[in-house]
Structure 1
């Protein structure tokens, strides 16, 4: 494991895409324990503009290994396309460099297991970037359901939709870049923690929107079966107006959330809980979600604590994503090995940092076009 110098964790950003430029990099400034140190990119315009904007070192992927051993960084934020996560994560962990890795963790269970082994080998920490695990509205919902505010949660339903630019990389690289790994990870992760349970079976159907040219099915409907007869359903898609919401119905009440997955200066994760004909609405206000997760991970590094959203957390979502792919390919429900739920989310994970203002992104085919 690399030796941390000072009281700030020095991050290199791997891949200068829209999320890196528009969310992670500006969000770091909201923290008190983290700083940007480097950018790894194959795009000379990104290297020039972002290097000047943040006063950081830039290098190409051919020099990534040298950067990992330079002594100039403590951690990397990996936000490359999903199918490149293993390629950029394993060498860093083996070099003792801590990794904050965008979700989904990988495109196969095998890749997830390789990352877990590399973290063990290098003595480095691996955290999956579930930013909502540090957002106050999300953790309030989880806590309310833990307390039994709606009785036992019985059903979950969710929509997460957007109108994706057909030139964006998510539209061009098959299932593992498409809407289920890209967007479905959010309702999958949400219901696991809202139910405090792991699914035991999944089924799926998908189709394409006429006139859209995506290298994947653009609209999916997924059902997950949980122990004790509980059910969860979600729809994700790339060819509709922007929308995100979920609802949970329990034996004594209901919870509805919208927006529930988004981020940004004007986004407050808001929910309403109804019980005994009384509705309570909670709107905690916008927070810096990317800065919040970074602040938490840096605190874990500085104080040598294991992060809550570790590699096992990422693997548990990837196994579900892989089962959904099999369900679509076979037309048959896919069973999942029963697993005990890990109750690890704690209230001290919440971060209430002021939202950063997104800067102009350069040399990117954005989500919206």
Structure 2
């Protein structure tokens, strides 16, 4: 049983991670690290978690045998600090994406984990979700011929006051929801993009977008000639889908990204459509169960730190392209692995959650 410390007891921990871990058979939370003691104590009691500590007590807790791994669910700007401290103490790390708020810190996180001999995994829950795996598998096996074009859309507005609207924490739709589109595009083509162009939109009279963009559109070009168009927004209505057009057919995944709904895939070929509805599994349980399996068997996770760094390079290139109006080159080594049936985990849903 792999023991976790949850660092940051905000919405994603309350809504998804803490409920999901009960659905695994190999993981449990033994520590909550939070700046709100009253709320953390209530969560700990609800989820049967024995220890609650403050951020100031984190280093001391790292010296004790209270947990084997940490789940970092803090704002983007805080990921590197807590990841590096945990790695140096010999703890494995599961960190939310994007990996950090700058490339230097992201690479330092990877280095710290390697030097300590621990695993760093970027929290790409879709790498363990059956609909995502099935869509990628159909593309790889040639169900639509050679993939040529991909359009990926994710629009979802956080509540007002959320840290995702803060430039200090590297917020914005590209970093929060666009990263899902980028990650999917990279695995759809099985390659790393080589250049990016982009435009962005920021309304003048909406206070939510005083510091971050409202929407961004980017185009990525891949070595084989594939083109991905990415649309991410904090202003538009909820939408989450991608469509991949190949030489002989196309695949649509809709819904495609959120954990609150099950995935649906449509494969169209010669005007015949095949629709597959996938079971609604617990994404966070599957992700955590997979990481715990990796820790227990000493198997490096597929969505490791370098996977997070690869997306960081694309995020930063798109930002620069949108800012300058230029085409920005991207230079990332090919990934040795991609999500497949070995990373898939199916864990049942739960109603056991407490959200403030």
TM-score per shorter chain, which class?
over 0.9
Where does residue 82 of structure 1 map in the other structure? 76
Tell me, yes or no, if structure 1 residue 60 matches structure 2 residue 54: yes
The runs of at least 4 aligned residues of structure 1 exceeding 3 Å deviation read none
1:41/1:58 contact within 8 Å kept: yes
TM-score where L is the length of structure 1? 0.93
| DSSP-derived class of the 1:21 partner | helix
Paired residues of 2:220 and 2:227 also in contact (CA < 8 A): yes
CA contact (8 A) 1:154 1:248 kept: yes
Instruction: Name the stretch that deviates more: 337-346 or 232-241.
Output: 337-346
1:228 matched residue in structure 2? 224
Matched residue count: 353
Separation (CA, whole Å) in 2 of partners of 1:174 and 1:80: 13
Q: Give the match's secondary structure for 1:229.
A: coil
Q: How is 1:87-126 mapped onto 2 (pairs within 5 angstroms)?
A: 87-126=81-120
Answer yes or no: is 1:27 the counterpart of 2:20: yes
SS in 2 for 1:145: helix
Deviates more, 1:209-218 or 1:113-122: 209-218
Structure 1 residue 258 corresponds to structure 2 residue 254: yes
Partner of residue 238, structure 1: 234
Please, which runs of 5 or more residues in structure 2 have no aligned partner? Answer: none
For residue 175 of structure 2, what is the aligned residue in structure 1?
A: 181
Which deviates more, 19-28 or 40-49? 40-49
- State yes or no: 1:36 paired with 2:29: yes
Distance 2:352 2:193 in 1: 36
Q: Does 1:132 pair with 2:126?
A: yes
Q: CA deviation at 1:175?
A: 7.8
CA distance in 2, matches of 1:219, 1:197: 26
Gaps of 5+ in 1: 1-7, 363-369
* TM-score of the pair, normalised by structure 2: 0.96
Q: In 2, Cα distance between the equivalents of 1:210 and 1:48? A: 42
**Aligned-partner SS, 1:222:** strand
- Whether the 8 Å contact between 2:302 and 2:337 is mirrored in structure 1 is no
Question: Residue 190 in 1 paired to residue 173 in 2?
Answer: no
CA distance in 1 between partners of 2:333 and 2:110 (Å): 18
1:41-70 CA-partner distances (Å, limit 9, x unpaired): 111232221122123211111000111111
Contact 1:196/1:343, CA 8 A, preserved across alignment:
no
Q: Secondary structure at the match of 1:11?
A: strand
Distance 1:305 1:338, change over 3 A: closer
Alpha-carbon distance in structure 2 between the residues aligned to 1:72 and 1:190? 35
Q: How does 1:200-215 map to 2 (within 5 A)?
A: 200-209=194-203, 211-213=205-207, 214=209, 215=211
Matched with 1:3 is none
**Does structure 2 retain, via aligned residues, the 8 Å contact 1:164–1:239?**
no
Shift of 1:350: 1.1
The answer as to 2:297 corresponding to 1:309 is: no
Using the TM superposition, give the Cα deviation of residue 338 of structure 1 relative to its aligned residue in structure 2, in angstroms: 5.5
